Amino acid sequence: MSLTPDSYGPVYLIGAGPGDPELLTVKAMRLLGEADVVVYDRLVSDEILNLVPKGASRIFAGKAADKHHLIQDEINELLVKLARKNYNVVRLKGGDPFVFGRGSEEAEVLHEHGISFEIVPGITAASGCTAALGVPLTHRGKATGVRYVTGHRKNNGELDLNWQSLADPDTTLVVYMGLSSLPVIRDELIKAGMPGELPAVAISKGTTPDQQICRTVLAHLPERVVEEDLPTPLLYVIGKVIEVADIWGSIPAADLLDYHGEAENA
């Protein structure tokens, strides 16, 4: 995306995928290799950072709940400043920059300052992590659609989600960044009519060597995540599509609990 022939940039807003460096796109790999400066997020894996050229500068701009190394306004200002120095700037984000990555907000600021930018999509955690487990996001007879939502509450406020819309048992629901809000999410979904026995899986550090999973049902999801002490980043998938993984046994049956909390027979 080019604004004018004499504009600064482009700044490359690149999706690094869910963690596995082999899931990077060819274009992302090429642009990383040409970077002068890489501004990267907390969710970008060390294996991917090792692909940054030795002579390039790396600037950490990670954010976690209530812990911001740089606040968003500072990140925006940094990108503008670097672009105006005519550096080859890569803004590297976990997953896809336009799926809960605030990439569009950064693009807006660059545009306002006359700096061109280019979006390089990445594999978002929902598709990358579920594929690693052999769980389809849609499957005939199991789910006719998929919904992505964030469980993050801005300034510790209430989640502003349409629970009635999300409680459709024929739609796969994927929740990003929902650790602290998980009990509320469970309660509101069941209150809105989603069956408590609907299969659910929590995926920690998906696609990486440190991946951990916890399979259960919606009603018990918050308690099981606490019991397993799963580290972030965490992704939650709720829906009948999880049952498809039973065909090839990619999720241990021992992790499956029924609605009453008793282990099912394998």
CB 239 within 8 A of CB 198: yes
- Verify whether residue 63 is a known catalytic residue: yes
Q: How many CA atoms lie within 13 A of 43 on its CB side?
A: 31
If you write DSSP's letter for every residue of 213-260 in order, what string do you get? Answer: EEEEEGGGHHHHHHHHTPPSSEEEEESGGGGGGGGTT-S-GGG-B-TT
Here the tokens at position 118 are 């280019």
CA nearest to 128, candidates 150, 168, 99 = 99
Pick the catalytic residue: 27, 36, 41, 67?
41
Active-site entry in 20, 54, 63, 258:
63
Distance CA 49, CA 105 (A): 23
Read off the tokens for 42.
Answer: 């907390």
Residue 97, number of CB atoms within 10 A of its CB: 26
Give the catalytic positions in this structure.
41, 63
